[in-house]
Amino acid sequence: MFRCAASRLRDCPDTTEPGWVHLDWRRLRGNHVIFSKSLKPLNRLILLWVCLQSPAWANPYLDQVERAEPNAEELERAREQIQYPAPAALPEPLAVPPFHQRSEPAPRPATLCRSCHRDAPHRDDSVLRSFLNMHTRYIACETCHWLPAQRSPEYRQVDRLEPSGELPEPLIAPWIGDVPVLTAADHPRARPLMALWQGGGEEEQARLQVRLHQPLEREGPGCGRCHGGEPSLLDPTALGFDQERTRALRLNPVVRFLERTRGEPGQPTRRIHLRELLE
């Protein structure tokens, strides 16, 4: 049998009887589990299985990352991105002061995605990027970009990352059963990935970049999947929205305005006139 040293593995018994092995949660951070020499191989497997079932250890996204197999095309694209990174953000302060008052950026949650993707991760679409970047304050990256691999997640709010602690603000994220698919940068299974990225060579970084992004899709769902489309990606009841907030989600005038602005695929984008918001 075994004994757990951390309360996060909530179901583990607390005993010091002879024959129990001490499982130190801090040692799990490096993907190492310390067993007693007297522990039989079968019991070691049982212990490891229990650890992997723990909410503090389980993560469906990281399961996919660990199974990912990069192909030659993906590796070549990753090498190019590493050799020629995207331009840095514009320097501050701006040459021309903005017309509107600017608020302070929201605190960045300590997630694995935001370790690399900074405060404004959406940059390509000149019409939608500002609106999409506003969503990062209360929508987890995995909500729009994670491919659940034949699973049907529910979308609920997460107010705590394991093992980091409280989030600056709750995030809407996919859940598989009782496990939120929202990965902390200091998750015990993410820490080796972070160390590999920081200390690995270019080829190791390229393989890791592909593995991290294989369970994701670059293009998220369209605005209508949450704002008026059927079936909706988000269930307002599961999110605890009242009737007024549900109506604001489903009948958002900004979304209708943007849909008119973008026009047909392949056609040039029209200029945005703020007065159209009132129509």
Please state the pTM of the whole predicted model. Answer: 0.73
Residues 1 and 21: beta-carbon distance below 8 Å: yes
220-229 contact pairs (CB < 8 A, 24+): 220/132, 220/144, 220/145, 221/144, 223/128, 223/255, 223/258, 223/259, 224/255, 224/259, 227/251, 227/252, 227/255, 228/252, 228/255, 228/256
The structure tokens listed for 203 are 């080829």
Tell me how far apart the alpha carbons of residues 145 and 156 are, in angstroms, rounded to a whole number: 16
Instruction: Provide the residue-wise pLDDT of the chain in tens; the chain has 279 residues.
Output: 333 333 333 334 333 333 434 444 333 433 444 444 455 566 555 555 555 555 557 889 999 999 999 999 999 999 999 988 876 655 555 555 666 666 666 677 889 999 888 878 888 887 788 889 989 989 999 999 999 888 889 999 999 887 778 888 899 999 999 899 999 998 989 999 999 999 999 999 999 999 999 999 998 888 888 998 788 899 998 899 999 999 999 988 888 877 777 656 556 566 666 666 566
Tracing tokens 């605890």 back to the chain, one arrives at 240
Q: 202-213 vs 72-83: helix axis angle to the nearest 10?
A: 120
